[in-house]
Structure 1
């Protein structure tokens, strides 16, 4: 076996290789997927209460071996090809996070995967907000996908249903069986917006037998969590499963203003009900409804430094580092209302070294609210030995209400010591509402005919989204004419025009509405030429249609504006459609029972759209990616070690990149973000690796590594006439992790230990800024006493966990916008104001959290 592993390395030497970490994984048959004799459970036993999956429908279940009868690492089942397959024999780079792995890391929501549970998977907040997540794989990471006419680059799926928006993704996770991380373009089987890959969340369905579990826990920062899962006996042919979950954490940065919410707080709860019926022989139909509520506040934004570029009034020569990104002007006269950078008020704390426990200035802050809901119908019918028909129907929606006042005086506008009136106002309150509803219908046919395995499908997606946003100032300094002596909270409903935070009293920065439709047909066939050689070919045809309008921009009502006003803004509604054919081909070779090699070509694309943050509703085109990948998957040392390698080259055309700036007004400040298509080919190259070793019974060691190289060609900026570099955000050049799991039998009980460590290099957080955040190393741990018998049928698990065990502090998002001069007032001007130069601001990661849990299975 070791010789085979060495052969694999030699075969792949000199190529870009990928190694995907395989955490100790417990995988079970997916009840909605086709059946396979390869599907057996992994050997690592789960804790009895929160992690054991409910038994699946016997008609759909794959054989499960008794872990006590197994030696070494067990097989892992995935459904990445729309059928159940053995992970090691599936020619796709995949990571699987089992329910046990999620429990060991105390993962309550997708944001908890931001620490690096999978090296090539990156999860980040948009701005500081927990209510909108940016998820990327292999360097496909959009900065601002929370705009209604902007798409994600990685598809997120729950039980086969695509989630159209990144809002609501941080809701509490229900009874998850596993999370499959599919890396690389998945455009053939999963469709548009899966350039980087797909994140597929698979939950546990009804068993038709009585059972369940209950979990309760407490944590620091006033935290608590609970989960109740009931699997009811089949009655009149109906099996019912009920899931409920609650999660709470108090603020980790306190707000000095009485009665106001602090920062990094969340209060989540959710409910899901699933019914399974068998209308006719060979047919299984699951109907589920879920409802989630997430009340949260953003991470606190700290002022990290003051005027780091040394900006000063006068010519560019006086302060050569003070310039807009991409400019090469040699004589810029920086002008404003003062001759020097305004001093930072004494009440403001500048801290770039550590996470603040208490904000320096209290500001109005109320929780943001995300409400998610959905109904899914999942029907499977074995109509013949050669074919299974499936129908996946879903209605889903999310309503997000954003209240983000995380910056205080740590971001513009900057106040002068002798300010008067509205010039004393600061503390940008970012307010937004988003309402999204989607309907999707997918039909699939999956089966085997002779030497051919096939998948065919039709897909339809319909989405309606509307949003609005306002950014009023919420607090003002009190000035005696020469110094700032105090702080006062502004009236939330100021002036007849409305410049406050209260609903109905807002000056609207933007409001838009988008209707999107997508139609697709796809097919994929695998020819099993021999027992060892497998050739797969497939393709997907997609048509996307988008119609969108701006209703407001900078408080101008576009619905009632005159033709002259719309022309002056350069406004044009969005009315576009795009057609794509995305092919793929894979050659897989089973060199032996323990060595599997593959070469893959795949394509994908992300739809175009328009930026609602611009006054002209500026449009941008789709981007397309081609991927070339080789890989090897192997087991050796008598199945006690598993090594997966793969390497890829991706070329992306028409990359969607963002140009972001802060623009100030008399009443507030707003982010102006323009999305453009970078010309040329963006290069993404990667090596990933994945190792799992079980040297002795009960001990499992894992290690993972991802190397990601990215390069966007310089872009010519028309307003400056020079080329500017752009970067792919939240994508470390090097990322790695590892874990140790040990189970020690204590009579009829088990003592379990888990520890993991996760490292990533510093990355850019904005497309057009070279400024980077900090490198990170985060460790998590858990110890559990499992299988404590309290009766003949009930067993209890007691555990203690800690996240960010060493309380590491790093800036995960660094914004240099406050440090830069304002943009020139015209395309030919070389003059930029320094009125609002302040400093870089950013967000520190979450502090150490820890707690205890007790769970019982019945």
Structure 2
């Protein structure tokens, strides 16, 4: 805390010094043309709309390892410019969960903000935040791959643009990009003195500040410094005095970048960044009570209570009695939790070093090197479930532990990675090419504990906070007092060589072929299960060749058509949530895509279309249950991951439209249709075939925006409004239960270009709102506590197939629990550019 306070003082002091040395404005401000996500936002500063007319700006992307015009790049890409991020008040990647890019899905794992699930085109892993599991969408910062989901919700620095590359990117970007890639590009040092400073405040006690300082070039070296801070108080209060509420965050970070250009044609970029994210999860509410009307007796009397993958004939026991002080609320977001529990912030820390070298050794080739070291640490404290998350407790409880509740989910993860990439990029005759070699080395380890933190009395009318060291069956939440549910370590090495070339026999016809060979080496150990040492290990070596083939035709001025075949794969691994460290294999995707990138009416209308068919084999499916551990004789929550048989079908259509009908006015709309179907899978806990689903993937999703800029007495008035919709989706692979559909509106009004004392110093004043209409919907719904239990095994050990009892217990049923989206937030901001 002392370091945190000291950092903030230094941030404010730096801001004061900047304010005294220059009169600033907002470097992040852009003209109204193309300010919205999805193939519309400009990547660089452009003149004001009144100077440029109503034409749409060109968008520069680096999806092919070289800078190209978006409209002439035969890949489905959405671009979020710096202006779009500012207009939507995007402070971290989780803010893109509103649906700014309909094909891009962002969600938290469970209610936690310590790990983000990121998916594109139906490639959305449910639980990739384990050391031996991989993501399905690659996330990159300045060309550097980020190996873990942890730390992805850190504050964004001075971002130039975010490129969302849709569909498999296996040839140029490598493994774990079967759904696509999300590439974050930060602003490089300019070598010209200047910068921006901004500060803002809003509801829930929020405040933020940013400083971006470009220093003059000295001895061929340019330096840029960035500092950022973001704070928001809890949106759901914790009734327990002195404890953190829910959906709170306190982030800060620093980045230093240097560009060295010792001679013509050679550029060396070096950077260091660090981030600190203190946060708490979203609150998990009890949404209903016994929603399936489960009763003891024949299954026919309660058919909706059957746990998927089981086939009981009789329900036994009785549904939990609802404690009087537990609140059932499935329609509105709770402002105050029904029960106060111990809750302290989770802490994510990230830092990294990058060296990016470029040398144009000849007119036909540029040699590049990207070297990076990165570390992530995550200390999770998640007590968001209260009386609603397993194990549930009802009235009439008894015994020394039978009345305990509120599962405090504690987990630590530490990761280190090193990567080295070499590239040769260039052009000769009628061929553009990129070839390269890549090496990645990662070590990650984790541990977890889940003590109960509270206890009911027998009537459910009073609550006791348990001793944090011994209160949960002799254990507690303090690090030295924990019962370790699991502890594991995993190592991964990846080697790759790749190449891609585009041949243009005539100016309007382009043939692209590429491929990547990848060799992965993975091993790991699950060395603690249920607080006891275990001998479980895994080792998995895989190799893949991922080809790409594209035909592109410039059919006319402003009309570019393409057909693309691409593949990608996601590495296999082992589940550390499994009692036995069960292994699973890789999954592979093949995609067939056609698209059109068009502009009409003198570049005032832009319409981009894409349709694709994707087949995935080896889909990694998660099944969760309470599993018996014969070594300790105890039960624990377990996740087993298996590969689905046959082909998973993913089909989709995407459309992006941008129109500049009048000078200063931009209208944009985006739509994504995604159909998914996984073949039935055998439930590893029951041996029964059942239907499974792809999570967080809406069948229909859409986004639209209106942007307007107009001169106003020497200033510029800017208006932004966006609306985002998505159909309801599943939360879990094994349950058909869906979340709610979502509709979120964001807005911003700004007065820009306010002169300060003459010269180029400009001030921007703005007011912004996210979720403007305070729409409330459940983004995560868990039916675990509303279905019958797993029938007991009645066959002898080792007998195959396993025989289960015909009875299913309903004694642990209480109701669905889940999480509502973030409430309406709003604020004001002042920014100075100098």
Q: Aligned to 1:802, what secondary structure does the other structure show? A: strand
Q: What is the SS of the residue equivalent to 2:387?
A: helix
Deviation at 1:497, TM superposition (A): 8.1
Cα 1:609/1:418, change in 2 over 3 Å: closer
Q: Whole-Å Cα distance in 1 between the matches of residues 511 and 373 of structure 2?
A: 36
Task: Decide whether aligned partners of structure 1 residues 23 and 530 sit closer, same or farther in structure 2, where only a CA change above 3 A counts.
Answer: closer
> Is 2:486 the partner of 1:510?
yes
CA distance in 1, matches of 2:268, 2:216: 16
Q: Does 1:699 align with 2:678?
A: no
- Pairing of 1:673-822 with structure 2 (within 5 A): 673-717=639-683, 720-791=686-757, 792-822=759-789
Q: Tell me if structure 2 keeps the 8 A contact 1:719–1:828.
A: no
Moved more, 387-396 or 743-752: 743-752
Structure 1 Cα separation of the partners of residues 472 and 763 of structure 2 = 62
Report the count of equivalent residues: 786
Find the partner of 1:615 among 579, 584, 588.
579
1:771-824 deviation line (CA, Å, top 9, x unaligned): 000001000000000000002121000000000000000000000011122212
The 1:177/1:719 distance shift into structure 2, 3 A limit, reads closer
Q: Among residues 198, 219, 228, which one is paired with 1:245 in the alignment? A: 228
5+ residue gaps, structure 1, are 1-19, 29-40, 46-66, 559-565
Q: Give the match for residue 78 of structure 2.
A: 95
> Pick from 318, 321, 335: which aligns with 1:357?
335
Mapping for residues 126-275 of structure 1, pairs under 5 Å? 126-275=109-258
Alpha carbons of 1:192 and 1:244: their partners in 2 closer, same or farther (altered >3 Å)? same
Asked if 1:468 corresponds to 2:447, the answer is: yes
Contact persistence 1:411–1:838 (CA under 8 A): no
Distance 2:290 2:257 in 1: 56
Counterpart in 1 of 2:43? 27
Distance 1:188 1:602 in 2: 8
Q: Does the CA contact (< 8 Å) of 1:225 and 1:247 recur in 2?
A: yes
Q: How many Å apart are 1:667 and its aligned residue?
A: 13
CA separation in 2, counterparts of 1:759 and 1:699? 23
1:360-379 map, 5 Å: 360-379=338-357
Contact kept, 8 Å, 1:412 with 1:664, in 2: the verdict is no
User: Which range moved further: 701-710 or 824-833?
Assistant: 824-833
* Structure 2 CA distance for partners of 1:419 and 1:76, relative to 1, 3 Å: same
The answer to which of 420-429 and 245-254 deviates more is: 420-429
Q: Contact 2:117–2:125 (CA<8 Å) still a contact in 1?
A: yes
**Is residue 43–residue 72 contact of structure 1 (8 Å, CA) maintained in 2?**
no
The answer for the alignment partner of 1:833 in structure 2 is: 809
- Assess if the C-alpha contact under 8 Å between 2:238 and 2:244 holds in 1: yes
Are positions 1:592 and 2:608 aligned together? Answer: no
Structure 1 residue aligned with 2:500: 524
CA distance in 2, matches of 1:466, 1:412: 25
- Tell me what 2:9 maps to: none
Residue 316 of structure 1 deviates from its aligned partner by 2.2
1:204-223 CA-to-partner distances (Å, cap 9, x unmatched) read 01011100000000010000
Aligned twin of 2:27: none
Among 364, 376, 379, the residue aligned to 1:386: 364
Q: Secondary structure at the match of 1:88?
A: helix
SS for the counterpart of 1:234 is: coil
**Distance in 1 (alpha carbons) for counterparts of 2:622 and 2:263:** 53
- Once the two structures are superposed, the pairs formed by residues 449-598 of structure 1 within 5 Å of their partners are 449-479=428-458, 483-494=459-470, 498-558=474-534, 571=536, 573-598=537-562
- The separation in 1 between residues aligned to 2:773 and 2:526, in whole angstroms, is 48
Task: Give the Cα–Cα distance (whole angstroms) in 2 for the partners of residues 717 and 104 of structure 1.
Answer: 46
Deviation at 1:496, TM superposition (A): 11
| Cα distance change, pair 383–192 in 1 and its aligned pair in 2 (3 A) | same
Q: CA deviation at 1:200?
A: 0.3
Give the drift of 1:478: 2.3
**Cα offsets for 1:648-695 (capped at 9, x unmatched):** 000000100111235699999853111100000000000000000000
Q: Report the TM-score when normalising by structure 2.
A: 0.92
- SS in structure 2 opposite 1:72? coil
Q: Indicate the SS of the match to 1:839.
A: coil
- CA–CA distance in structure 1, aligned partners of residues 668 and 767 of structure 2: 22
TM-superposed deviation, 1:363: 0.1
Deviation at 1:498, TM superposition (A): 4.9
Per the alignment, do residues 727 and 162 of structure 1 end up closer, same or farther by CA in structure 2, a change over 3 Å counting?
same
Q: 2:29 matched to which residue of 1?
A: none
Range 648-657 or range 667-676, more displaced: 667-676
Asked if the contact 2:623/2:683 (under 8 Å) is kept, the reply is no
Give the Å deviation of 1:69: 4.3
SS at match of 1:421: coil
* Structure 2 counterpart SS, 1:692: strand
Q: Is the 8 A contact 1:413 1:664 kept in 2?
A: no
SS in 1 for 2:309: coil
Q: CA 1:469 to 1:186, structure 2 compared with 1: closer, same or farther past 3 Å? A: same
**1:37-116 mapped onto 2 (5 Å cutoff):** 68-69=51-52, 71-116=54-99
Deviation at 1:554, TM superposition (A): 1.5
- Taking the aligned partners of 2:299 and 2:41, their CA distance within structure 1 comes to 58
1:823 corresponding residue in structure 2: 790
Question: In 2, Cα distance between the equivalents of 1:547 and 1:44?
Answer: 55
CA change 1:689–1:496 in 2 (3 A) is: closer
What residue number does 1:442 align with? 421
Q: CA deviation at 1:421?
A: 1.6
Distance (Å, rounded) in 2 between the aligned partners of 1:815 and 1:857: 47
Q: Measured at CA, do residues 112 and 169 of structure 1 come closer, stay the same or move farther in structure 2, by a change above 3 Å?
A: same
Q: Deviation per CA, 1:433-467: give whole Å up to 9, x if none.
A: 00000000000000001000000000000000000
| 2:612 is aligned with 1:648 | yes
| C-alpha distance 43-816 of structure 1, shift in aligned 2 (>3 A) | farther
Cα RMSD for the two superposed structures: 1.8
| Secondary structure, aligned partner of 1:422 | coil
Shift, 1:401, TM fit: 0.1
CA deviation after TM superposition for structure 1 residue 25, in Å: 1.0
What residue in structure 2 maps to residue 277 of structure 1? 260
Shift of residue 311, structure 1, vs aligned partner? 2.0
Equivalent residue for 2:297, pick from 314, 336, 339: 314
Per mean C-alpha deviation after superposition, the further-off stretch among 815-824 and 584-593 is: 815-824
CA distance in 1, matches of 2:214, 2:704: 35
1:412 is the counterpart of 2:390 = yes
SS of the residue corresponding to residue 409 of structure 1 reads coil
Range 97-106 or range 230-239, more displaced: 230-239
Q: Distance in 1 between matches of 2:774 and 2:452?
A: 34
Is the CA contact (8 Å cut-off) linking 2:37 and 2:80 kept in structure 1? no
**In the alignment, which residue of structure 2 is the partner of 1:661?**
625
